[in-house]
Amino acid sequence: MPEFSVPFEPANVEKSAIRRFYNIGGFTVLMQFFASSLLALALMVVIKWLLMKLNPGSPSSAVSHYMRKSSILAAINLFTYMFTNIGFAIIGLKWAKIKPSSMIKTRDYHFADAVQHCFAGIFIWYSAAIISQGIENIFSKYGFTTEVMDMDYGETGIGFAVMVLYSCIIAPVTEEIFFRGALMKIFSKSNQRFGIFMSAMFFGLAHGNLPQFMLAFLIGIFFGHIDMKHNSIIPSIVVHILINSLVTIITEFKGNTIAMGFLELAVIICCIIGVIMLVIFRSECRLPVSTPEQSRRGIAVAKTSVGIILAVLVQAAYTLLIIYQTKT
């Protein structure tokens, strides 16, 4: 209002209020990280114990091999992240006193917008994938690999079906609920731009390796942008499902030269259209610009947030540990 103004430097009481939300976001990330790791470990231990009891003559290595090849590990992965992503998104929103229903109060979103976002998203994904592959090549020169999943993971028909269900539906929906639906709203209390970038950073860190971090971070910024524009996670869910489905299809046809040729041509055509769509989108809707006052309420306050600092350090340390363990 005209008779009011925002001071450039927030007072201590305001800093404390903003820091509270940043702590909520950071500790929500930490809880989700540890809960998903412990839940997955517990399920694997229990199921392996049951299989050993049902097959008393089988060695432990054979049971582990069966779990990896069958649908069991794929199902554990699906259940773990579906439960923790949705569960801790709700916990974080409730803790911050934000109504979960606010995630889908969609504004000015039409079919034409979905098409525009999908083409632009494919271009951003393809560009980020090139950067990610470059990082992967650099790591491989020094004897490291950034692969976090065996290629023979879930080889059975049911295992493949579970992995497709998770990759193409469950992961896109639940990740958007957690990262854009909860984290971005919590981190955007005083600075929308900060909320977009912070949620994208944690989205990248959640993937556990540097190349995937770069890919997820860049596409995460776009997801946050379109969700912020339409005040809903629906736009990013649609694009996320498309990209993950496209990756799944490409992965399955890698050994088929003819099919890959058609797929690569289709992707290139989509990328050309995507560049145009992205330019149009950015000309009509730019990323939220922080005022000088908002800037003093973003990183300046976040760097004093114990929750954010711990969340970044823990996930970064985990990523480095994974990279170190995969040295060939």
Instruction: Count the domains in the chain.
Output: 1
Domain contains 70: yes
Q: What CA–CA distance (Å, rounded) separates 22 from 262? A: 46
The range of the structural domain enclosing residue 183 comes to 12-98+109-325
Average pLDDT, the chain: 92
Domain contains 6: no
Domain contains 3: no
Domain contains 42: yes
Query: Do residues 319 and 40 make contact, with C-beta atoms less than 8 angstroms apart?
Result: no
How many Cβ atoms from other residues are within 10 Å of residue 223's Cβ? Answer: 31
Domain contains 2: no
**pLDDT score for 243:** 97
Domain contains 103: no
**pLDDT score for 322:** 82
Q: Which of 299, 301, 295, 314 is nearest to 27 (CA)?
A: 314
Domain contains 169: yes
**pLDDT score for 209:** 85
Polymer length in residues for the chain: 328
Estimate the crossing angle of helix 210-230 against helix 192-205, to 10 degrees: 150
Largest pairwise CA distance in the chain: 80
pLDDT per residue as tens, the chain (328 positions): 677 788 899 999 999 999 999 999 999 999 999 999 999 999 999 999 999 999 888 888 888 888 888 889 889 999 999 999 999 999 999 999 999 999 999 999 999 999 999 999 999 999 999 999 898 888 788 776 665 554 556 667 888 899 999 999 999 999 999 999 999 999 998 899 999 999 999 999 999 888 889 999 999 999 999 999 999 999 999 999 999 999 999 988 888 889 999 999 999 999 999 999 999 999 999 998 888 999 999 999 999 999 999 999 999 999 888 877 776 5
Burial 145-156 (b: 16+ CB within 10 A, else e): ebeeeeeeebee
Query: Do residues 295 and 9 make contact, with C-beta atoms less than 8 angstroms apart?
Result: no
Query: Do residues 106 and 234 make contact, with C-beta atoms less than 8 angstroms apart?
Result: yes
Q: What CA–CA distance (Å, rounded) separates 194 from 295? A: 8
Tokens of 217: 């971070």
Domain contains 306: yes
What's the whole-model pTM score? 0.92
Residue with tokens 């989700």: 32
Dihedral-angle region of residue 154 (phi above 0 means left; psi in -120 to 50 means alpha; beta otherwise): left
**pLDDT score for 152:** 55
Residue with tokens 């992707």: 267
